[in-house]
């Protein structure tokens, strides 16, 4: 069993190991203070999504889907910046437009702002996720087509189920590294290969030998909080049973 301090550090690592506003790092906190306790906090950009028993949940040492889902809703801040954010209570709205090779993605986000009026530094914490990474998506034998992560995420289930007809779905990064594939094996089975770096689609695998493993946010995470940036997982899976709605169409 890991200690409370080890568990805290494991969670901070998944959130980037530094305060997103002032840049204070976990490494420096450990060097100076010997502990990260009471130094960093997770901020919910949309407080209405905060778990009703957040305090008990975030202190759990064993990692679970519930805990990782909660961390996904947060940004890492040092305690000082977190208090400043709540004291300033500045709400913000951001309109963003991303363009790449003729593709365009517009996003309107609401969120919180923490401001440093001397350094003129403002950090915006969006309450909505916007997936701006671009991927080449190959359906069947067709030429790979460039898509923003947002489009891929919105259509992912359809593409995946579509491999029953198309035979395969492959996803490559912008520089053409394959990060995901789904290949039809039979009418009921498919083979999924998922790289840790493909952070768009969270994965949970339960293995009798190693327990539960999650791949999400660019990390592979184990139940004891150990995490890694590397790795590719290949599993044989069963097609989801089509819902009545889909079947009746």
Asked if residues 2 and 225 have their Cβ atoms less than 8 Å apart, the reply is: yes
Size of the site for Zn ion (CB under 5 A): 6
- Report how far residue 67's alpha carbon sits from residue 57's, in angstroms, rounded to the nearest whole number: 6
- Report how far residue 151's alpha carbon sits from residue 61's, in angstroms, rounded to the nearest whole number: 35
Please give the residues from 18 up to 47 whose contact with Zn ion meets the rule CB under 5 A: 19, 21-22, 24
Largest CA distance in the chain: 63
Q: Is the dihedral of CA 46, 52, 53, 55 positive or negative?
A: positive
Which segment (53-61, 79-87, 111-119, 128-136) binds Zn ion by CB under 5 A?
79-87
Q: What is the CA radius of gyration of the chain?
A: 20
Judged by beta carbon, residue 78 or residue 152, the one nearer Zn ion is: 78
Q: Quickly tell me which residue has 């460039």 as its tokens.
A: 146
CB of 114 to Zn ion, least distance (A): 8
Judged by beta carbon, residue 19 or residue 29, the one nearer Zn ion is: 19
Collect contacts of 46-50 with beta carbons under 8 A, ≥24 apart: 46/73, 46/111, 46/127, 49/73
CB of 77 to Zn ion, least distance (A): 6
CB of 132 to Zn ion, least distance (A): 24
Judged by beta carbon, residue 19 or residue 171, the one nearer Zn ion is: 19
CB of 15 to Zn ion, least distance (A): 13
CB of 18 to Zn ion, least distance (A): 8
Judged by beta carbon, residue 19 or residue 71, the one nearer Zn ion is: 19
Q: HSE of 76 in the Cβ direction (CA atoms, 13 Å)?
A: 22
Q: HSE of 194 in the Cβ direction (CA atoms, 13 Å)?
A: 25
Pick from 67, 68, 71, 81 the residue near Zn ion by CB under 5 A: 81
CB of 84 to Zn ion, least distance (A): 8
Pick from 26, 71, 78, 169 the residue near Zn ion by CB under 5 A: 78
Binding site for Zn ion (CB under 5 A): 19, 21-22, 24, 78, 81
């Amino acid at each position: 069993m890991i200690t409370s301090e080890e568990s805290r550090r494991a969670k901070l690592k998944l959130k980037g190991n530094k305060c997103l506003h002032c840049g204070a790092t976990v490494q420096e906190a450990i060097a100076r203070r010997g502990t990260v306790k009471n130094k960093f906090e997770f901020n919910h950009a949309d407080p209405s999504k905060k778990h009703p028993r957040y305090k008990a949940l975030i202190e759990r040492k064993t990692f679970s889907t519930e805990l990782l889902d909660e961390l996904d809703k947060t940004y890492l801040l040092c305690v000082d910046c977190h208090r400043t954010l709540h004291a300033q209570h500045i709400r913000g709205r951001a309109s963003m437009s991303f363009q790449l090779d003729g593709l365009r993605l517009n996003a309107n986000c609401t969120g919180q702002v923490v401001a440093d009026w001397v350094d003129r530094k403002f950090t915006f914490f969006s309450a909505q996720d916007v997936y701006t990474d671009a991927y080449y998506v190959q359906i069947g034998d067709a030429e790979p087509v460039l898509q923003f992560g947002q489009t891929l995420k919105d259509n992912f289930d359809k593409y995946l189920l579509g491999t029953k007809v198309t035979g395969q779905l492959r996803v490559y990064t912008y520089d053409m590294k394959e990060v995901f594939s789904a290949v039809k094996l039979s009418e009921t089975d498919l083979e999924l290969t998922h790289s840790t770096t493909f952070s768009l689609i969270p994965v949970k695998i339960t293995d009798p030998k190693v327990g539960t493993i999650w791949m999400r946010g660019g990390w592979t995470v184990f139940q004891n909080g150990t995490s890694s940036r590397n790795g590719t997982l290949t599993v044989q899976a069963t097609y989801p049973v089509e819902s009545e709605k889909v079947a009746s169409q």
